[in-house]
Structure 1
Amino acid sequence: MPKTSQLHPRQEPLPPASPSPGPNSLGALFWAFTGLALQGFGGVVAIAQRELVDRKRWLTQAQFVEDWAVAQVLPGPNVVNLSLMIGDRYFGVRGGMVALAGMLSFPLVIVLILAALFSGVSDSPVVQGALRGMGAVAAGMIVATGLRLLSALKDNVLGTTISWALAAATFVAIALLKLPLIWVLLGLGGLAALWAYHQLGRLGKGAP
């Protein structure tokens, strides 16, 4: 009898863990962004990445980087832009408005109270020194979050080398040359967009 070969199905790698479906109600969306805002002393980006990606898993790391990049480029506060984008993604315009309300309502009340209290002690050297110290902590939080997001660059369509080159050029342009942000966005951001468009075109044609 002829030998029959037994075919074994090829083991496919397990897909990466996908984010959860997202907030199940407008109330959950509102309180989630309220919690982000109340924790975000010195900036919300570090808290937003931890809460939305690591804890709630509403976004993957790559999705968060993409949304944050768009929020940075658009006019206005980046955290406000991010809240509008995420709220709109899950509940449309209503979600955007609810997420924005969660981001601004309680912090607005707190800021008004602190502003009234701060007006009487703003000239105190102790208070000014404390503010400088908090500024250093805020800068450290932003740098730490940026380092955590670097892992998403390996899947970026630009390629790791180009991504690092653009990051270095942006640092030189803003920190050392002190160029206006709008020109850095138009110049380096425009070049990055054109290169990404070129790379996506190559992928669409099946180019190696």
Structure 2
Amino acid sequence: MSTTPAARPEAADLRRPSGPAQLFLVFTRTSLQGFGGVLAVVQRELVERERWYTPESFLQDWAVAQVLPGPNVCNLALMLGDRTHGWRGAAAALAGLLLLPLALALLLAGGIGGLAAHPDTQRVFSGALEGMGVVAAGLIAGTCLRLVAALRSHPLGFLPALAVVVLAWGALALAGWPLTWVVPGLGLCGALVTALVMKKGR
């Protein structure tokens, strides 16, 4: 397993998971770093550290994972595992993502259940969660900037693709539209326009 990070792997440098065991170990390591969500960590682990994706191919699979029902990173793990090692790879990747964090969550819930009603404990947990929220927001923002950089090779061109990103952000953050409207609506429009551009470029 590689431990040397690479800033930006190219398609020729991509590696393949050696087997279900490596998928399990990498996704377990990823999940244990994913405080507040694993998007920020999974991009670093799968693109920069393991080199299983280029930035562009990661963005493509993440877009599919976003559209499918269920947690995005679980969808990504299933797609990568199935593509490389069939159903065994998909099961191993998903198990690595869920098993140990679930066990830790159950242990913590059982261990602190009796203290949860105490006012001092509630204040400590409230402050900790607020602090982690700030960190999680920073991690997600940093990952988004990295994903935007991958748009430089998009068939639409960088600026039109960035305009779609800004539209999606505005619809969600400013207009308050639900995700179930933005993803199929704007996503379908973006897919159709990209398909037309690629067809003309042939």
Tell me if both proteins adopt one fold, taking TM over 0.5 as the criterion. yes
Counterpart-to-counterpart distance in 2, 1:111 and 1:20 = 34
Letter in 2 for 1:168: V
Counterpart-to-counterpart distance in 2, 1:118 and 1:143 = 32
User: Map of 1:56-67 to 2, 5 A cutoff?
Assistant: 56-67=50-61
**Paired position in structure 1 for 2:183:** 185
Q: Give per-residue Cα distances to partners, 1:29-70, cap 9 Å, x unaligned.
A: 111111111111111111111111111111111111111111
76 and 17 in structure 1: CA distance in 2 versus 1, 3 angstrom threshold: closer
The structure whose Rg is larger is 1
Q: Does 1:104 align with 2:98?
A: yes
Flag structure 1 segments of 5+ consecutive residues without an equivalent.
1-15
Residue 12 of structure 2 aligns to a residue whose secondary structure is coil
User: Map of 1:49-198 to 2, 5 A cutoff?
Assistant: 49-119=43-113, 120-121=115-116, 124-198=122-196
Q: Give per-residue Cα distances to partners, 1:123-168, cap 9 Å, x unaligned.
A: 6122112111111110110000111122210101122122111111
Shift of residue 200 of structure 1?
Answer: 1.7
Contact residue 172 and residue 178 of structure 2 kept, 8 A: yes
**Paired position in structure 1 for 2:4:** none
Counterpart-to-counterpart distance in 1, 2:108 and 2:156 = 44
Q: Give per-residue Cα distances to partners, 1:146-191, cap 9 Å, x unaligned.
A: 1112221010112212211111111111111111111111221111
Counterpart-to-counterpart distance in 2, 1:165 and 1:20 = 30
**Paired position in structure 2 for 1:10:** none
Shift of residue 115 of structure 1?
Answer: 2.6
70 and 19 in structure 1: CA distance in 2 versus 1, 3 angstrom threshold: farther
Structure showing the higher helix proportion among its residues: 2
Shift of residue 117 of structure 1?
Answer: 3.8
Letter in 2 for 1:22: R
Flag structure 2 segments of 5+ consecutive residues without an equivalent.
1-9
Shift of residue 121 of structure 1?
Answer: 2.4
Identical positions, percent? 48
Letter in 1 for 2:176: K
**Paired position in structure 1 for 2:3:** none
Counterpart-to-counterpart distance in 2, 1:174 and 1:117 = 38
Contact residue 33 and residue 103 of structure 1 kept, 8 A: yes
Give the total of aligned pairs: 189
Residue 52 of structure 2 aligns to a residue whose secondary structure is coil
Counterpart-to-counterpart distance in 1, 2:188 and 2:11 = 33
Letter in 2 for 1:19: D
Counterpart-to-counterpart distance in 1, 2:32 and 2:86 = 24
